Amino acid sequence: MALLELKNVSKHFGAIHALNDVSLSLEPGQVVGLMGDNGAGKSTLVKIVAGNFRPTHGTMQMEGQDLSMHRPIEARRHGIEIVHQDLALCDNLSAAANVFLGREIRKGVGPFKILDYAAMYRRAGQIFAELRSETRPRDLVRQMSGGQRQAVAIARTRIADAKIVLMDEPTAAISVRQVAEVLNLIRQLRDRGIAIVFISHRMPDVFSIADRLVVLRRGRKVADKAVAASSPEEVTGLITGAIEHVL
Protein backbone atom coordinates (compact mmCIF):
# COMPACT_ATOMS: atom_id res chain seq x y z
CA MET A 1 0.00 0.00 0.00
CA ALA A 2 1.20 3.45 -0.83
CA LEU A 3 2.15 5.64 2.10
CA LEU A 4 0.58 8.73 0.58
CA GLU A 5 -1.74 8.72 -2.38
CA LEU A 6 -2.87 11.88 -4.20
CA LYS A 7 -5.73 11.37 -6.64
CA ASN A 8 -6.58 13.91 -9.33
CA VAL A 9 -5.53 16.84 -7.21
CA SER A 10 -6.06 20.34 -8.59
CA LYS A 11 -5.44 23.73 -7.03
CA HIS A 12 -6.90 26.89 -8.49
CA PHE A 13 -6.21 30.43 -7.36
CA GLY A 14 -9.06 32.29 -9.01
CA ALA A 15 -8.51 31.89 -12.74
CA ILE A 16 -5.00 30.54 -12.28
CA HIS A 17 -4.73 26.77 -12.35
CA ALA A 18 -1.55 26.19 -10.38
CA LEU A 19 -2.06 22.45 -10.32
CA ASN A 20 -4.25 20.38 -12.62
CA ASP A 21 -5.39 16.82 -12.10
CA VAL A 22 -2.17 15.50 -10.57
CA SER A 23 -2.04 11.99 -9.14
CA LEU A 24 0.96 10.83 -7.19
CA SER A 25 1.82 8.03 -4.80
CA LEU A 26 4.72 7.84 -2.36
CA GLU A 27 6.14 4.51 -1.21
CA PRO A 28 8.10 3.93 2.01
CA GLY A 29 11.85 4.02 1.51
CA GLN A 30 11.62 5.64 -1.90
CA VAL A 31 13.14 8.91 -3.01
CA VAL A 32 11.03 10.78 -5.54
CA GLY A 33 12.76 13.54 -7.46
CA LEU A 34 10.24 16.28 -8.18
CA MET A 35 11.31 18.47 -11.06
CA GLY A 36 9.89 21.26 -13.15
CA ASP A 37 10.54 24.82 -14.17
CA ASN A 38 9.65 27.81 -12.01
CA GLY A 39 5.88 28.09 -11.88
CA ALA A 40 5.34 24.48 -12.93
CA GLY A 41 3.45 23.79 -9.69
CA LYS A 42 6.17 22.13 -7.57
CA SER A 43 5.74 24.37 -4.60
CA THR A 44 1.94 24.29 -4.85
CA LEU A 45 2.08 20.50 -4.75
CA VAL A 46 4.41 20.56 -1.77
CA LYS A 47 2.22 23.05 0.05
CA ILE A 48 -0.81 20.82 -0.43
CA VAL A 49 1.03 17.82 1.01
CA ALA A 50 2.38 20.01 3.82
CA GLY A 51 -1.10 21.20 4.79
CA ASN A 52 -0.61 24.84 3.77
CA PHE A 53 -3.21 24.64 1.00
CA ARG A 54 -6.29 22.50 0.59
CA PRO A 55 -6.75 21.10 -2.89
CA THR A 56 -9.58 22.63 -4.93
CA HIS A 57 -10.41 19.20 -6.35
CA GLY A 58 -9.17 15.70 -5.69
CA THR A 59 -8.41 13.58 -2.63
CA MET A 60 -5.47 12.57 -0.51
CA GLN A 61 -5.05 9.32 1.39
CA MET A 62 -2.42 8.50 3.98
CA GLU A 63 -1.98 4.76 4.58
CA GLY A 64 -5.44 4.17 3.18
CA GLN A 65 -7.13 6.81 5.36
CA ASP A 66 -8.64 9.96 3.90
CA LEU A 67 -6.51 12.96 4.68
CA SER A 68 -7.96 16.43 5.01
CA MET A 69 -5.69 19.05 6.49
CA HIS A 70 -6.36 22.65 7.33
CA ARG A 71 -3.06 23.67 8.85
CA PRO A 72 0.60 22.64 8.59
CA ILE A 73 0.54 21.35 12.17
CA GLU A 74 -1.93 18.65 11.09
CA ALA A 75 0.46 17.44 8.40
CA ARG A 76 3.15 17.16 11.05
CA ARG A 77 0.82 15.11 13.22
CA HIS A 78 0.45 12.71 10.33
CA GLY A 79 4.22 12.37 10.06
CA ILE A 80 4.80 14.70 7.12
CA GLU A 81 7.82 16.96 7.62
CA ILE A 82 9.23 19.67 5.40
CA VAL A 83 12.76 20.93 5.12
CA HIS A 84 12.18 24.43 3.77
CA GLN A 85 14.44 25.98 1.20
CA ASP A 86 15.33 28.79 3.62
CA LEU A 87 15.60 26.09 6.34
CA ALA A 88 13.32 28.11 8.65
CA LEU A 89 15.93 28.54 11.38
CA CYS A 90 16.10 31.16 14.13
CA ASP A 91 19.59 32.66 14.04
CA ASN A 92 19.36 33.86 17.62
CA LEU A 93 18.74 30.40 19.07
CA SER A 94 21.03 27.43 19.63
CA ALA A 95 21.10 24.41 17.32
CA ALA A 96 19.26 22.32 19.90
CA ALA A 97 16.60 25.02 20.40
CA ASN A 98 16.00 25.08 16.65
CA VAL A 99 15.81 21.30 16.38
CA PHE A 100 13.17 21.20 19.11
CA LEU A 101 11.34 24.39 18.13
CA GLY A 102 7.62 23.84 18.61
CA ARG A 103 8.29 20.43 20.23
CA GLU A 104 10.35 21.31 23.28
CA ILE A 105 11.15 18.63 25.82
CA ARG A 106 9.93 19.72 29.23
CA LYS A 107 10.08 18.37 32.74
CA GLY A 108 8.03 19.07 35.81
CA VAL A 109 4.69 18.30 37.34
CA GLY A 110 1.28 19.17 35.91
CA PRO A 111 1.11 22.71 34.59
CA PHE A 112 4.48 23.60 36.15
CA LYS A 113 6.80 22.48 33.41
CA ILE A 114 10.16 23.92 32.51
CA LEU A 115 12.37 23.39 29.47
CA ASP A 116 14.64 20.39 29.86
CA TYR A 117 17.83 21.87 28.42
CA ALA A 118 19.97 18.83 29.31
CA ALA A 119 17.68 16.38 27.56
CA MET A 120 17.41 18.53 24.45
CA TYR A 121 21.19 19.04 24.22
CA ARG A 122 21.73 15.32 24.68
CA ARG A 123 19.18 14.23 22.08
CA ALA A 124 20.27 16.85 19.55
CA GLY A 125 23.88 15.75 20.06
CA GLN A 126 22.91 12.14 19.35
CA ILE A 127 21.14 13.10 16.15
CA PHE A 128 24.04 15.23 14.92
CA ALA A 129 26.36 12.30 15.65
CA GLU A 130 24.10 10.01 13.62
CA LEU A 131 24.20 12.52 10.80
CA ARG A 132 27.99 12.65 11.12
CA SER A 133 27.69 16.40 11.39
CA GLU A 134 30.11 18.56 13.37
CA THR A 135 27.22 20.70 14.56
CA ARG A 136 27.32 21.29 18.31
CA PRO A 137 23.94 21.53 20.05
CA ARG A 138 24.84 24.61 22.10
CA ASP A 139 26.18 26.74 19.23
CA LEU A 140 24.07 29.58 17.94
CA VAL A 141 22.78 29.04 14.42
CA ARG A 142 24.05 32.53 13.56
CA GLN A 143 27.61 31.22 13.75
CA MET A 144 27.08 28.16 11.58
CA SER A 145 28.12 27.13 8.08
CA GLY A 146 25.61 26.24 5.38
CA GLY A 147 26.15 22.50 5.93
CA GLN A 148 25.65 22.76 9.67
CA ARG A 149 22.44 24.72 9.12
CA GLN A 150 21.19 21.96 6.82
CA ALA A 151 21.98 19.41 9.51
CA VAL A 152 19.91 21.40 12.02
CA ALA A 153 16.94 21.60 9.66
CA ILE A 154 17.18 17.91 8.81
CA ALA A 155 17.62 16.92 12.45
CA ARG A 156 14.14 18.33 13.05
CA THR A 157 12.59 15.63 10.89
CA ARG A 158 14.32 12.98 13.00
CA ILE A 159 12.78 14.28 16.22
CA ALA A 160 9.38 13.97 14.65
CA ASP A 161 9.72 10.35 13.58
CA ALA A 162 8.54 11.45 10.15
CA LYS A 163 7.17 9.03 7.57
CA ILE A 164 7.42 11.51 4.71
CA VAL A 165 10.04 14.21 4.33
CA LEU A 166 9.64 16.93 1.72
CA MET A 167 12.90 18.64 0.87
CA ASP A 168 12.74 21.89 -1.04
CA GLU A 169 15.99 22.50 -2.96
CA PRO A 170 18.20 21.16 -0.17
CA THR A 171 21.32 21.26 -2.33
CA ALA A 172 20.78 24.62 -4.01
CA ALA A 173 22.94 26.87 -1.86
CA ILE A 174 25.71 24.74 -0.39
CA SER A 175 29.21 23.67 -1.36
CA VAL A 176 30.02 20.54 -3.35
CA ARG A 177 31.33 18.70 -0.31
CA GLN A 178 28.19 19.58 1.61
CA VAL A 179 25.99 18.36 -1.26
CA ALA A 180 27.58 14.93 -0.85
CA GLU A 181 26.86 15.11 2.88
CA VAL A 182 23.23 16.01 2.35
CA LEU A 183 22.76 13.25 -0.24
CA ASN A 184 24.27 10.74 2.18
CA LEU A 185 21.88 11.90 4.82
CA ILE A 186 18.93 11.46 2.48
CA ARG A 187 20.08 7.91 1.83
CA GLN A 188 20.07 7.28 5.57
CA LEU A 189 16.52 8.58 5.86
CA ARG A 190 15.51 6.37 2.93
CA ASP A 191 17.13 3.31 4.52
CA ARG A 192 14.95 3.86 7.55
CA GLY A 193 11.86 3.47 5.38
CA ILE A 194 11.08 7.17 5.08
CA ALA A 195 9.52 8.40 1.86
CA ILE A 196 11.37 11.43 0.52
CA VAL A 197 10.26 14.01 -1.99
CA PHE A 198 13.36 15.72 -3.29
CA ILE A 199 12.68 18.95 -5.14
CA SER A 200 15.62 20.18 -7.12
CA HIS A 201 16.78 21.92 -10.23
CA ARG A 202 20.11 20.13 -10.09
CA MET A 203 19.96 17.25 -12.51
CA PRO A 204 23.07 15.38 -11.21
CA ASP A 205 21.75 15.41 -7.64
CA VAL A 206 18.37 14.07 -8.68
CA PHE A 207 19.91 11.34 -10.80
CA SER A 208 22.29 10.28 -8.03
CA ILE A 209 19.72 10.13 -5.23
CA ALA A 210 16.22 9.59 -6.63
CA ASP A 211 14.56 6.27 -7.35
CA ARG A 212 11.69 7.81 -9.25
CA LEU A 213 11.20 10.98 -11.21
CA VAL A 214 8.12 13.16 -11.37
CA VAL A 215 8.15 16.08 -13.77
CA LEU A 216 5.59 18.89 -13.68
CA ARG A 217 4.95 21.38 -16.43
CA ARG A 218 2.34 24.14 -16.24
CA GLY A 219 0.57 22.45 -13.37
CA ARG A 220 0.32 19.03 -15.02
CA LYS A 221 2.28 15.87 -14.39
CA VAL A 222 4.11 15.04 -17.60
CA ALA A 223 6.32 12.19 -16.38
CA ASP A 224 6.40 9.66 -13.54
CA LYS A 225 8.95 6.94 -14.10
CA ALA A 226 11.98 5.14 -12.68
CA VAL A 227 15.15 7.18 -12.81
CA ALA A 228 16.96 4.23 -14.36
CA ALA A 229 14.58 4.36 -17.32
CA SER A 230 15.12 8.05 -17.96
CA SER A 231 17.97 10.36 -18.84
CA PRO A 232 18.89 13.97 -18.13
CA GLU A 233 18.19 14.80 -21.76
CA GLU A 234 14.69 13.42 -21.54
CA VAL A 235 14.01 15.29 -18.31
CA THR A 236 15.25 18.55 -19.83
CA GLY A 237 12.91 17.97 -22.75
CA LEU A 238 10.01 17.29 -20.40
CA ILE A 239 10.68 20.38 -18.29
CA THR A 240 10.91 22.71 -21.26
CA GLY A 241 8.09 21.10 -23.23
CA ALA A 242 10.26 19.82 -26.08
CA ILE A 243 8.95 16.39 -25.08
CA GLU A 244 5.21 16.59 -24.52
CA HIS A 245 4.64 13.82 -22.04
CA VAL A 246 5.83 10.31 -21.07
CA LEU A 247 4.24 8.00 -18.55
Nearest to 21 by CA among 167, 222, 201: 222
User: Quick one: 28 or 72, whose CB is closer to another protein?
Assistant: 72
Contact status: 70 vs another protein (CB under 8 A): no
User: Quick one: 137 or 219, whose CB is closer to another protein?
Assistant: 137
* DSSP state for residue 216 in the 8-state scheme: E
Contact status: 119 vs another protein (CB under 8 A): no
Contact status: 104 vs another protein (CB under 8 A): yes
Q: Which long-range contacts (CB under 8 A, 24 or more apart) does 59-67 make?
A: 59/6, 59/7, 59/8, 59/9, 60/4, 60/5, 60/6, 60/7, 60/9, 61/2, 61/4, 61/5, 61/7, 62/3, 62/4, 62/5, 63/1, 63/3, 64/1, 67/4
Which residue stretch of 3-11, 56-64, 103-111, 227-235 sits at the interface with another protein (rule: CB under 8 A)?
Answer: 103-111
176-191 and 146-159 helices, crossing angle to 10°:
10
Distance in Å, CB of 217 to another protein, minimum: 27
Structural contact between residues 98 and 156, judged by C-beta atoms closer than 8 angstroms: yes
Interface positions, 78-97, toward another protein (CB under 8 A): 82, 84, 86-93, 97
Distance in Å, CB of 113 to another protein, minimum: 8
Distance in Å, CB of 245 to another protein, minimum: 34
Site string for another protein, 150-169 (x = CB under 8 A): ------x-------------
Residues that bind another protein in the complex, under the rule CB under 8 A: 72-73, 76, 82, 84, 86-93, 97-98, 101-104, 106, 113-115, 142-143, 156
